[in-house]
Amino acid sequence: MRALRTATTGMAAQQMNVDVISHNIANMNTVGYKKQRAEFQDLMYQNVERMGAQSSEAGTVVPTGIQIGAGVKTGSVYRILTQGSVTRTDNSYDLMIDGRGYFQVLMPSGETAYTRAGNFAINDQGQLVTDDGYLVQPQITLPQDTKEFTVSKTGQVSVTQDGVTAPTVIGQLQLATFYNEAGLEAIGDNLFLESGASGAATISAPGDTGYGTLLQGYTEASNVDAVSEITALIVAQRAYEMNSKVITTADEMLSVAGSLRN
């Protein structure tokens, strides 16, 4: 009975759906996190009677035919890139991108990773780093006698030093954009890597055409909405239960057929 296999694919698909939803809920408070959604596709069909086939010598054709589907599969899990809400931190090293773009981060392997999470800090050498200690690129190093640290909306980094009235420009932050941001490869720790699907990074200063601006003392919250996630979770649960009911019903039908006597 095809229904057993078909319903099994439905249960597997909804299990993956719940996996994606649970990951979103777990990251409700993760800085810069972008929620994900699972999309599904129907599986191959068996043509019991092909539409358009000739049904008589008079040339009549079958208008619709008979196609029996084999179930469902997960087609993709895509990332929703809407911007999260603004969260004020009052930490001068925290930065938020208002608009398009990603911060560049130098990995220990030498690769460049990208992130929307701007909860930065200063390491023991005065360098601007992520909370894992990875260097923000272009590298920003604060003098030891820095009294005040300022980042403009366009990414210009200035410091005020002891005994000096006028601020000194020490660097310029830049942002990266991609043709297909959803194609970036997530590697955890709020980091992404460039992939063949994302296209190559295009680098420019914040505020340039097509690039967001920076907000100092703020971070971007996760774009996960608790209400929509709980609603999606309930829908997935009901779909899982309905597929399990199909298996139970099909099993009962097989039991009835098996109990027939000549």
| Phi/psi at 216 (5° precision) | -85, 140
Same-domain pairing of 132 and 245: no
For range 228-257, the mean pLDDT: 93
The reply to whether 75 and 100 lie within a common domain is: no
CA distance 149 to 159: 5
Structure tokens at 51: 């539409």
Q: How far, in Å, CA of 230 to CA of 248, rounded? A: 27
CA distance 100 to 209: 10
For the chain, percent of residues with pLDDT exceeding 70: 99
| Arithmetic mean of pLDDT, 200-229 | 96
**Do 182 and 114 reside in the same domain of the chain?**
yes
Looking at the fold, whether 150 and 188 belong to one and the same domain comes out as yes
Q: What is the DSSP string of 140-169?
A: -B--TTEEEEEE-TT-EEEEEETT--S-EE
pLDDT at 261: 67
pLDDT at 62 over 60: yes
Per residue in 110-149, pLDDT (tens digit) is 999 999 999 999 999 999 999 999 999 999 999 998 899 9
Clarify whether residues 143 and 212 are in a common domain.
yes
Query: How many other CB atoms sit within 10 Å of the CB of residue 244?
Result: 15
- On whether both 137 and 154 belong to a single domain, the answer is yes
| Residues 208, 229: Cα–Cα separation, whole Å | 35
Check residue 31 and give its pLDDT: 96
**Count of structural domains, the chain:** 2
pTM of the model: 0.87
Instruction: Give the H/E segment covering residue 9.
Output: helix 2-26
- Asked whether residue 158 falls in the same domain as residue 61, the answer is no
Q: Are 126 and 196 contained in the same domain?
A: yes
Residues 57 and 168 both lie in one domain: no
Q: What is the mean pLDDT of the chain?
A: 93
pLDDT for res 262: 54
Same domain, 94 and 210: yes
Nearest Cα to Cα of residue 114 among 130, 129, 103: 103
187 and 140 fall within a common domain:
yes
The two structure tokens encoding residue 173: 């932050």
Same domain, 101 and 73: no
Residue 53 structural domain: 2-81+224-258
